[in-house]
Amino acid sequence: MLRRALPRRFEARRLLIGTLLSAIGRGLTLPFLFIYFTDVRGLTDTRAGLVIGWYGAVTLALSPLGGTLIDRFGARRVVVPCLLIEAIGTGSLALVNSTGSAVLVMTVIAVGGSAIWSGQNTILASLTGDDERQRVYGLNFALLNLGIGVGGMTSGAIVDTARPGTFQIIYVLDAVTYLIPALILLTLPGIGHRLVRPRTGGEPSAGGYLTVLRDRPFRRLVIFGLILTTCGYAQIEVGFAAYAVRVVEVTPQVVAWALAANTAMIVLAQLLVLGRIEGRSRTGALAVVGAVFAAAWLVLGAGGLVSAENAVFAALCVVACSAIFGFGETMLSPVMPALTNALATDELRGRYNAMSSMIFGISGVIGPVTAGPLLGAANGSVWVATVVGGCLVASLVAISLRRLLSAEQDGRTTTTPASPTPVPA
């Protein structure tokens, strides 16, 4: 299954290696930023939250510019500088000693991170054919989670809030891993260039984000993504953790085990799922994702109902919720970017990918803000009902999208391997 999921072109395979190695560095620091700001650098909970929120806001604001630059100058000219900026910013976290310096450093990191994801997706799309793109995106997601899991387990054995130097070490290591995909791109000078030749003065413009939003199927896909991620991904950090600790009344260690179960599910099931969904309707797979996410939240809600009578069963519900959610992710991760790039044109591919990545940024703002009030109503049952209902509504939107797509765009036909890449200008 792994051999079948690997892309045909060696350049794409090397990029996947860069994803894995850089994800290990990301995993070293991902769980500890809030703890580092508060317990090590002395920021209050409120200030630390505002600093992290500022990072999300800056990233979201700059993402459209990143898509425009990718289309205009080529992805490599955007991604390589962004990786270097991200490395400098991440390494500088080791030197943070006040709220002001934290804001400055997180701003630098946001500038670097604003175009990396959309740029890398654009490069992968240019290196893969329609017949393999879905598998490659799924493998990329599995490697990302594998790296994060390895990094998280490693840093868990290293960091100690009583020794600030242990945190400084992991941030420096994380910065070094950001240089790996940049070096890989530099050793592959023939990829990541602008996909179409510059237009002369007499030729009409290919358009911009308004053209992207006028694409009715893609607009429907964006609506699906906003609903699903707001009621899904965006609830993991706040809604899931808060409900598990306050309503189900499990310990933080159980939450940690739940997140580990999520990662394990993704790594172990991704290749199997890729084989099962190949040649099947992409919109059908997205509808199933909404149903799976809804089932995960229902399992978590069941844990809240029985927590007082059976603490062990309640804890198992928390872990099972996260694992079921991970299974849904194994379908969403290959299908969403594959469908995005099936709808995109070469002239606007960077903008399409930037818009797709912005879905997660927007929901990342809406989800945490709405989770607090909903969790406080009726002992969290209103929150459960809302996220379950939202995921099911997303499934209905996905079903309605099918009639707007051709069979090829929906993945219902098996394409024969052909020339997999657009020819750079």
Domain boundaries, the chain: 1-193, 212-412
Q: What is the mean pLDDT of residues 68-80?
A: 93
Q: Yes or no: say if 289 and 331 are a contact pair by the CB < 8 Å rule.
A: yes
> Which of the given ranges, 241-245, 296-300, 375-379, has the highest pLDDT on average?
296-300
C-alpha triplet 240, 143, 29: angle, nearest 5°: 55
CB 143 within 8 A of CB 22: no
Q: What is the mean pLDDT of the chain?
A: 88
- Token readout for 232 is 């899904």
Q: What is the dihedral of CA 298, 291, 118, 134, to 10 degrees?
A: 140
Rounded Cα–Cα distance for residues 368 and 57 (Å): 13
* Predicted confidence (pLDDT) at residue 43 exceeds the cutoff of 50: yes
Which tens digits make up the pLDDT trace of 153-182? 788 788 887 888 999 999 999 999 999 999
Residue 169 tokens read as 């070490």
- CA atoms of 118 and 337, how far apart (whole Å): 10
pLDDT single digits (tens) 254-303? 887 888 899 899 989 998 999 899 889 999 999 999 999 999 999 999 99
Provide the token pair at 314. 């309640």
Does residue 201 carry a pLDDT above 80? no
Q: What average pLDDT score do residues 101-122 get?
A: 93
CATH code, 212-412: 1.20.1250.20
Residue 89 has pLDDT above 70, yes or no: yes
**CATH for the 1-193 domain, from 1.10.10.10, 3.55.50.30, 1.20.1250.20, 3.40.720.10:** 1.20.1250.20
pLDDT in the model for residue 302: 94
Q: Which long-range contacts (CB under 8 A, 24 or more apart) does 365-368 make?
A: 365/53, 365/56, 365/57, 365/60, 366/230, 366/234, 367/229, 367/230, 367/231, 367/233, 367/234, 367/235, 367/238, 367/239, 368/234, 368/237, 368/238, 368/239
Cross-strand bridge partners of residue 163: 160
Give the pLDDT of residue 370. Answer: 79
State yes or no: pLDDT of 147 exceeds 70: yes
Q: Is 145 helix (H, G, I), strand (E, B) or coil?
A: helix
Whether 1-193 shares its CATH topology with 212-412 is answered yes
- In this prediction, residue 226 has a pLDDT band, given cuts at 50, 70 and 90, of very high
Assess whether pLDDT exceeds 50 at residue 372.
yes
Is the per-residue pLDDT at 395 higher than 60? yes
- CA diameter of the chain: 74
pLDDT band at 418 (very low <50, low <70, confident <90, very high): very low
